[in-house]
Amino acid sequence: MAPSVLLPGGLLLLVGAQLLAARLEPYDLLYDSGVQAYYREDWPSVILSMEKALRNRELLRRHRITCRMQCADTSDYSAQPPGRGPLQDLSLFQRVLERAACVRGCERHNMGAPDTYFMASEELELEFRKRSPYNYLQVAYFKIHKLDKAVAAAHTFFIGNPDHMEMRQNLEYYKMMAGVSDSDFRDLEAKPHMHQFRLGVRYYTDEESATAITYFEKALEEYLVADVECRSLCDGPYDYDGYNFLDYSADLFQSITDHYVQVMSCRQGCVSELATQPGKDKPTDDFLASHFNYLQFAYYNTENYTQAIQCAKTYLLFHPNDEVMTQNLAYYSAVLGEDAAALIQPREDIQAYITRSLLEKELLYFAYDVFGIPFVDPDTWTPESVIPKRLKEKQKVERETAARISEEIGNLMKEIENLVEEKTKETFDLSNPVREGQRDTGPGVHDSEHESEVSLDPEAPEFRATVDSLIVAVNHALKVDDDSNSAPEHAVSFTRTKRSHKTFASHPDFLDIVRRHRERSDKCFTGGPVLFDEVSVVMTSKTLNGSQRVVTDGVISEDECRELLRLTNAAASAGDGYRGTTSPHTPNEKFHGVTVYKALKLGQEGKVPLRSAHLYYNVTEKVRRVVESYFRLDSPLYFSYSHLVCRTAIEEKQDDRQDLSHPVHVDNCILKAEAMMCVKEHPAYTFRDYSAILYLNGDFEGGHFYFTELDAKTITAEIKPQCGRMVGFSSGSENPHGVKAVTKGQRCAVALWFTLDPRHNERERIQADDLIKMLFGPEETNVFPGNESARKSETRDGVVTPPEPPTGPDSDPPKKGVLQPPLDSPKTKTEL
């Protein structure tokens, strides 16, 4: 088949004309030049090369989008000759070839070379996605005293890398410099649709519905444009991931299938890409649908019931069984009139979007079912009917198999654990701490098994050695880590050692002696700073007669307490966290609670004030920072669970009440008071390391918090709740605690549990972090900045040093001609 028969003649002229087009300079070479200039400290060349690399990369992206969209608009696949056979195939491929020639010619004309000429390595693409060029630019601009550009580059890099501590310090330095304004802190890579959406949420939160509508509508418009552009970029070369290029031997239709399924999967992935905040790996769920959730209520607030109905109906396209939206729609229809409401249809562009998306999902699931090409659906609203029945059954079998294998692995790990425990008992067998033959040296405990006595004189070296060894043994066991999520962690208790330790621990003077021994040890610990000027330490481990304990006041104000109490009354549900059991700890009180993520979702939906939910989020973060700093932890704390809870006394059940509001327990092990032991195993939350309770009120009777010894009876300290008071402590067996009965009124608090293990970072907290980023942006996520600079700037002599200028990537010069990105964690040169 001659090309002249198939290809339009105009394209032949275009081929000749494109030879005259200027060729873009590849951005990978420009980036390499910028890196080399950085190590030569040639700052103007760094700026020239990096800025041009960013500009050329964006130009290539725009050219690819433009060419593919233009050529798609000119392709007409509907005009097919009648009948079946080779003629139809030729007609189809004629249009395919015409479109390919159109794209090729357009790209050559605009770029000055074929698209493949500009292909960069995946490693370099990753550096641009991480915004690494801005890391170099902020240093170069600072060196030539262009502060506004340095600040913009630093801010842009930090938004994409929020955990980059050095850049955080650089930004703090910039904020203190003369000539730097708030407007300089701008994100040069901001996505227009995300920016408009966040502005809409901000005005919605401020109850400026008319202004919020403008931004939400603009965000939708920008989103659909970004979606089309993102999808067009998926029409690239086939990724032979998992294949050796030379070994790939698929036939015509199999190779077409492989490539087109990959393209469709990429297009579906645009949902996640457009809903992902910079610096985050996880997209926001239901991002597109949430626009219409906001809009329907905003239009209602402006009494535009026609648009409110349309937005509600559009939202129901995604979630047809949503009860709240169905109720809203019924209300709007009743106000406007049922007949008029029936004529209003969902938005056509969204109907087309959903129709196209569902068709792609059907094809992708078919390919998954028939060819085994995996597909991960990015949407939560996909109907079950889209997934083939056979595939659903196959996935069910796979889940059951995975569960069975997990159970078998768990049983195997349990057996291994038992063996490890036996070895641990042998290793830490301290059953004969007194030298053989040492008898009648004072008050002691007789051990029938080893025929020796253990001295209980706290000043005796053997006593201190025994107590210290026991503590070391237990602490060592508690720190033993298990890489298997399905297997319980190792545990060692007094009863699992030799019998002399049980006898030693059961002596009537043991508790008092160990307490005095622990008090001497606690004198070595001095609490760290509490970071915030308004927070004061009122009780320490010494005054609380224990270890790893603290009480602070002033964590939040009276107004903030009242706002959180109002949030509790509006958002908390009975039995939350206890599967709906309204009285989980005692039948004489009712329990209500709400998590951070649930409160934020309710705020997003307009059911509670969003500012109150935001305050709840920030308060939990403030408490985390106080606990982390005061206990001088070297590793960061992660949220294990957060709960705003209220315990309410049931009036008719308070006569002759003898029970507790919350029985004495330990947060990370199972307390067995009668045996003076705490077993660190399932179902205890063994991964919890620190705990905190922040009280919101004190206008109730009873409900005091108290610490005990391991016997759960000997009270060592008691704390009366009041607004802004926080109790923080380590979660282990050194801190058994309980709550006395609430006999009148309602006791409310924010209960928090933390872990040092990032694997147990609470999933809902990660979702809450993402939602906060979406609603407020990184610059608004923390309303309690604190005065951490005082802690970070301390020198050995206690003198606060001034911050140094911003620093950039710091590494040995790269080898000549070899691309090397900046280090992820360059050497820190600045302390604030």
- The CB-based long-range contact list for 355-361 (8 Å cut-off, 24+ gap) reads 357/268, 358/382, 358/383, 358/386, 360/264, 360/267, 360/268, 361/268, 361/386
Q: Which two tokens stand for residue 730?
A: 């380590």
DSSP letter (8 states) at residue 666: B
In angstroms, the CA 305 to CA 316 distance is: 16
Q: What is the set of active-site residues?
A: 747
Partnered with residue 206 across adjacent β-strands are: none
| Helical spans, DSSP H, in 75-115 | 86-111
Work out the widest C-alpha separation in the chain, in whole angstroms: 113
Q: 577 and 685 in contact (C-beta within 8 Å)?
A: no
Q: Which two tokens stand for residue 607?
A: 């059911």
Residue listed under structure tokens 């608090």: 749
Sign for the CA dihedral angle at 663, 664, 667, 669 comes to negative
Q: Which two tokens stand for residue 456?
A: 């209980």
Residue listed under structure tokens 């040492």: 438
Q: What share of the chain is helix, strand, coil (3-state, %, to 5)?
A: 50, 10, 35
Q: Strand pairing of 737-739 and 452-455?
A: unpaired
Residue listed under structure tokens 């198999």: 401
Question: Which 3 state secondary structure label does DSSP give 708?
Answer: strand
Q: Strand pairing of 549-553 and 536-539?
A: antiparallel
Sign for the CA dihedral angle at 598, 603, 606, 608 comes to positive
Distances (CA, A) of 108 to 12, 104, 514, 626: 13, 6, 82, 59
SS (H, E, C) 752-778: EEEECCHHHCCHHHHHHHHHHHHHHCH
Ranges assigned E (strand) in 31-172? none
Ranges assigned E (strand) in 634-767? 638-649, 662-665, 670-672, 677-679, 690-695, 701-702, 705-708, 715-719, 726-730, 737-739, 742-744, 746-755
Query: How far out from the chain centre does Cα 197 lie?
Result: 20
Q: Which two tokens stand for residue 639?
A: 């949220």
